[in-house]
Structure 1
Amino acid sequence: MKALKVNGDIVTDNEAWIYDYLGIDYASPELIRNGLGDANGDPVTVEINSGGGVVTAGTEIYTMLRKYSGKVTTQVVGMAASAASLIAMAGDVVEMSPAATMMIHKASTVAAGNINDLENAQNMLAAIDDSLANAYAEKTGMDHDEILGLMDSTYWITPQEAIGKGFADRMMFEDSKEPLPAVASFGGIRNIEKLKQHLKKSIALDKSEQLAFLNAQFNYLKLGGNTHD
């Protein structure tokens, strides 16, 4: 069985290069598409630990997992929040670690312009929320409006509640007598160490390379303007 990972931000294929450049975890449609191509119809497991990201990238990944010819098992191993929770819904079987969490909420964006522009942005977000609720409702069997109500409150879900409401099918390790592995470090610490290494590398670059590096970091910060879920 092939294992795919949805770790870090969920980004579009056009944004993925900056994450590669900075060495930051991410998931993009192309990464998942390539992994499914390698699996060639065999069963796949998608391990998820992500706070979400660009909603259109998340829906593309969700759709390709639903279309995949082989069995798909999604496993929430840390967090499946926002667009990552949508990807979790694509599994034929959805599993959650006893220590994992899931979160659903309404989409957000940054808008500017006249009253018509802002109204269009509002309509766009409402349409996105309805579409996301379709996927959650299909998986859980819950009423569409009830799902929207949960999304409105930025709803955090424990493994037990996820199973009870139909967002997940079972708990990982239920049939295992082996103890759960201990977590030795936190993601924040690992990310700080990565940042230190990148800063050391940038100091060693010549002036033209430093400029390219700084431009890449600036463009990365600008990614917040995308529509995120």
Structure 2
Amino acid sequence: MISFFYLHGWASSPKSSKALFFKERFQELGLTLHTPDLNEPDFYHLTLTRQLQQVGKLLPNRPCTVIGSSLGGLASLWLAQRYPQIQRLILLAPALDFPTQCQRIIGTENLQKWQADGEMPIFHYSWEREMSLSYEFVADCLRYPDKQLQRVLPTLILHGQQDETIPIQASRDFIQGRAWIQLIELESDHSLMNQLDTIWQIIQAFCQLKDSENPATI
């Protein structure tokens, strides 16, 4: 029996439209999609390290497939480095080269102010308000260079060609030299919300969830 996990993005939650969509689709197949809340126990002290520790404690000692969105995609990659029971990855607009993306999005001056102040208000999309986040979040991410992500396992990246948050070039660059990763480019933005039905079809094929007598192909 394979266990399935969905890891939401930065300043999102398991109650996001995307997380709920996939959870419902898995339920329709009689499967459980685990969707841990990566904001716990609080948003202020959020770090990638804390997320990896949190999810690592939840992983069973049997094969797992992890679906990760944005920062959850980056976390999924690092979890797969550490936990051999993760045997398949599906990454939705993963936050690759995150320190660079963070600096581009926030701006150099704001990033310096964040470091000087020790915290900065971040708009949390699920809670629909600004929440303070410690600069340790950024400092911690710097300890996770993408070049160390070298575990060979079936990996699928789905990325929107109009993504302005994490440009698709980040995924194009990442797959270079990593022949085990397949990149599917979609007509979408970072949310991928207009492609959820298509993505679900792709997930079913990649995870072999469809009727074995009528195998689907990507």
TM-score by structure 1 length? 0.35
Instruction: Name which one, 1 or 2, has greater alpha-carbon Rg.
Output: 1
TM-score by structure 2 length? 0.36
Q: Which structure is higher in helix share?
A: 1
